[in-house]
Structure 1
Amino acid sequence: MTEREGTGTRERLIAAAADLIAASPGEDFSLREVCDAVGVKMPTLYHFFGSKQGLIDAVVERGFDLYLSEKSAMESSGDPIQDLRAGWDAHVTFGLAHPGFYTLMYGKVRPGYSPAAQSRPSRILGELTARAAEQGRLAVDPRQAAAHVLSTNIGVTLRQIILAEADPALSASVREGVISAITGGGAGSPHDAVGAVVEQAAAHPEVLGASETRLLIEWLRRLREGAPGRDRDDAAASPAGPAAE
């Protein structure tokens, strides 16, 4: 078998496993069925993947490739919080469209184990929360903010997959609750009141227009940083301040 033929066989085995998983989301699949679909013997499958888990890991990698290719097609709004909203919705949409992939990517839990491919979307999420922190938009550490978003996003998506029913109202409600929690919106202080206006503007850029919304957010951010009772030392010490990672 040439190297090119080997690569083609490996790809066909992954595709066959992915098809079986897509046909019966959440259910186990047979390696024999995978081999029969491709027309190879079991030793060939073990040659490429070593074990059933090796094949599953390759299918998970394929799922993340598909997920990230869809996300990369999205245009950034230029606002990290708005991009968190868009990313949340894209995550749910992908899960509902590809429940077989999704349940392998996020639904199969082994204590102490996280697929290496999970780090790629997590890195993108972390970059968004870091940008939000740099703009003074977060009330928590950016890493904690990313963890809040990802864990609830997965939970909402898995719930809809389990029920086999989309629930956009639930998803939007939980999404906005998480955004409010990580940005500190609605807590009642003057500082938080300014932050709430910032996030309200960011959530509805169509009202003022994208450029005007970005300008308003920058003005409000400066106002918040210069508000009485928030001196430079406080700002630097805050996880949402300029010194945040």
Structure 2
Amino acid sequence: MPRRSRDRDDAAPAGSDTAATGREQTRRRVIEAAIDLLEREGRDAVTTRAVAVAAGLQPPAIYRLFGDKDGLLDAVAEHGFAAFLAAKHVDPDPQDLIEDLRAGWDLAVEFGLANPALYTLMYSEPTRATSAAFKAGMEILMGRVRRLAAGGWLRVDEELAAMIIHATARGAVLTWLSQPEDRRDPALLTTLRESMVAAVTDRQPAVQEAGPAGAARALRVALPEQTTLSAAEQHLLREWLDRLAAGD
């Protein structure tokens, strides 16, 4: 009875390295089976029984590994965030910051279009924003935004810029997927991307223009890297820079 043998492996003592490895392999097999069902037949097809059969397990093994169906779906979503994170290319010093922004946005959209059911599951619950992989991905996005700010390209606050970039990519994917295939116009994606670029960046670095707002944003992002000022002085200067950056 190979299925029961697998189930016994899942229940082996936690102190055993072999048991821990076997448990992780079983978890991965279940998650992959769930993703396959999700992409082929939709979310309703992802039942604990169907996933167990697809993974070659008895249904109780799913409950031991994930608690319940919601726990399984959370694990599937986390796997999706981790796969997306692994696909991201991080250039710490891109030649063209605006093109780097476009490339990051395109990658996010392409991942969603290539994994429609998984992507929809990943963003179906607001609580999944607590995912470690999701947070790591957002840090990569914030790195792009900080480089734009440091170069004087950013025309809005860093947090707002990150939200706009993330929201437009997510909205582009979900809107595209909601359309019948014969009505999916690639111009939608290009237009949304360029609208995002126009919303968060200036045509020229703001530090080359008259007015203090762009220079304030550039200085604000570089402020934590200097050691000349005391903590109190940094706090006061940041308050002034925030007021200057918001005054355009």
TM-score over 0.5 for the pair: yes
Counterpart selection for 1:138 from 154, 158, 167: 154
Q: Does 1:181 align with 2:161?
A: no
Within 2, Cα distance between the matches of 1:32 and 1:55?
A: 12
Q: TM-score, normalised by structure 1?
A: 0.73
Could you tell me which runs of 5 or more consecutive residues in structure 1 were left unpaired when the two chains were aligned. 186-195, 199-219
Distance in 1 (CA, whole Å) between partners of 2:118 and 2:93 is 25
Partner of 1:57: 74
CA distance in 2, matches of 1:4, 1:54: 20
Question: What's the % identity of the aligned pairs?
Answer: 36
Contact 1:26 1:103 (8 Å CA) reproduced: no
1:75-121 CA-to-partner distances (Å, cap 9, x unmatched) read 97433322111111111111111112101112x135x6534132122
CA distance in 2, matches of 1:101, 1:128: 25
Structure 2 residue 136 is the aligned partner of structure 1 residue 120: yes
Cα displacement (A) at 1:169? 1.1
| RMSD over aligned Cα atoms | 2.4
2:220 is equivalent to residue 243 of structure 1: yes
Q: Provide TM-score, normalisation by structure 2.
A: 0.73
What residue ranges of structure 2 are gaps of 5+ in the alignment?
Answer: 1-8, 10-18, 223-248
Greater RCO (CA < 8 Å, at least 6 residues apart) = 1
What is the 5 A alignment of 1:90-129?
90-106=107-123, 108-110=124-126, 114-116=129-131, 117-129=133-145
Question: Structure 1 residue 26: deviation in Å?
Answer: 4.8
Structure 1 residue 127 displacement after superposition: 1.0
- Which residue of structure 1 aligns with residue 54 of structure 2? 37
The answer as to whether partners of 1:96 and 1:161 remain within 8 angstroms in 2 is yes
Q: Which letter maps to 1:243?
A: R
Contact between 1:22 and 1:98, CA under 8 Å: does it hold in 2? yes
Q: C-alpha offsets along residues 191-240 of structure 1, whole Å, 9 cap, x if unaligned?
A: xxxxx2x3xxxxxxxxxxxxxxxxxxxxx66633xx4xx35xx555x4x3
Distance, in Å, in 1 between the alignment partners of 2:39 and 2:130 is 19
Matches within 5 A, 1:164-179: 164-165=180-181, 166-179=184-197
1:150-169 aligned at under 5 Å gives the runs 150-165=166-181, 166-169=184-187
Conserved? CA contact 1:84–1:128, under 8 Å = yes
Report how far residue 24 of structure 1 moved: 2.6
How many Å separate the matches in 1 of 2:71 and 2:110? 27
CA separation of 1:73 and 1:121: change in aligned 2, threshold 3 A: closer
Q: For 1:31 and 1:98, locate their aligned partners in 2 and report how far apart those are by CA, in whole Å.
A: 21
Deviations 1:24-66 (A, max 9, x none): 3454521100111122222211111111111111111211222
Aligned residue identity for 1:241: A
- Indicate if the aligned counterparts of 2:47 and 2:69 stay in contact, CA closer than 8 A: no
